[in-house]
Amino acid sequence: MSVEESNERYVGETRPRGTAILHHVNLKTTRKEAMVEWYVKVLNMRVNVDVGLAAFLSNDRANHRLALTTIPGITFNENKRFHDGVHHTAYEYATFDELNELYLRLRDEGILPKVCIDHRTSWSYYYEDPDGNMLEMQVDDLGDWDLSTQIMRETTSIENAPAHFFGISVDPEQIAAARAAGASFEEIKERTAAFEFSTGEAKDYNTPEILPDFAVKW
Ligand SMILES: [Fe+2]
């Protein structure tokens, strides 16, 4: 289906009647206890109920945003990165400072992100849970869903995409140091566009070199 066809059913920003929105993710796991502990720590989730075979967690008013299910007979898939299915789930902060504080908190507990990217529409730190599922912890780069959506909609092909459309890798430690030294998020984004905080590998993801990273690291 084309971009245009998918948009025809909307009237401005009004969704067609009967549109459901994302409510929760259910992950199968062979190590439920470690997963529960990790999600409670990283996402400040609360366990609303744990019935042994499954735990239901949430960090807002929904009765659960995450289910962790352990089904007898399932096996750990150590090669999940190379199979189809979910690539990552994403969780959003309202402010850059909260994401930066998450990085510092987890770093001090020995949990480091796998890759950090300023996507120019979102500022994203990617973490692996104990099963190797990827999570994207993000904040909207523009602080405004309408603006970042507009950028996406105005990008009709890779040829007219904004600079660094897929993003620039950043070193979260350097970012945290810049913030601690008083740099604002706006200033940090400007300095990122000049590659000041790059990790030195795959600095700009607007290249075919993204593919090995995408398959292996993300
Ligand atoms: Fe994502």
**Structure confidence at residue 98 (pLDDT):** 98
Cα-to-centroid distance, 156 and ligand 1 (Å) = 19
C-alpha torsion sign, points 88, 92, 97, 98: negative
Q: d(Cα 140, Cα 120) in Å, to the nearest integer?
A: 9
Asked if residue 115 and residue 204 are part of one domain, the reply reads yes
- Domain span holding position 31: 20-73
**Structure confidence at residue 209 (pLDDT):** 60
Q: What is the mean pLDDT of the chain?
A: 90
Residues β-bridged to residue 35: none
Asked if residue 112 and residue 62 are part of one domain, the reply reads no
Asked if residue 163 and residue 135 are part of one domain, the reply reads yes
Cα-to-centroid distance, 120 and ligand 1 (Å) = 12
Asked if residue 119 and residue 53 are part of one domain, the reply reads no
Here the CATH number for the domain that contains residue 69 is: 3.10.180.10
H-helix or E-strand containing 35?
helix 32-43
Cα-to-centroid distance, 98 and ligand 1 (Å) = 18
Q: d(Cα 36, Cα 21) in Å, to the nearest integer?
A: 24
Cα separations in angstroms, 190 against 193, 197, 212:
5, 10, 27
Cα-to-centroid distance, 169 and ligand 1 (Å) = 14
Asked if residue 63 and residue 115 are part of one domain, the reply reads no
Tell me the Cα Rg of the chain: 19
Residue 4 lies in a domain: no
Other CB atoms within 10 Å distance of the CB of residue 134:
19
Identify residues whose C-beta is under 5 A from ligand 1, the ion: 90, 136
Task: For residue 157, give both structure tokens.
Answer: 């092909």
**Structure confidence at residue 4 (pLDDT):** 87
Cα-to-centroid distance, 54 and ligand 1 (Å) = 26
Ranges of residues in the chain whose predicted pLDDT is under 70 = 200-218
Asked if residue 105 and residue 195 are part of one domain, the reply reads yes
Question: Which of 191, 188, 186 has its CA nearest to residue 143?
Answer: 186
E strands, the chain, are: 25-28, 46-50, 54-58, 66-69, 88-93, 115-118, 122-128, 134-140, 168-169
Cα-to-centroid distance, 87 and ligand 1 (Å) = 8
Cα-to-centroid distance, 134 and ligand 1 (Å) = 10
**Structure confidence at residue 202 (pLDDT):** 46
**Structure confidence at residue 198 (pLDDT):** 82
Order of strands across the sheet with 46-50? 25-28, 66-69, 54-58, 46-50
**Structure confidence at residue 64 (pLDDT):** 98
Cα-to-centroid distance, 116 and ligand 1 (Å) = 12
In the chain, how many domains are there?
2
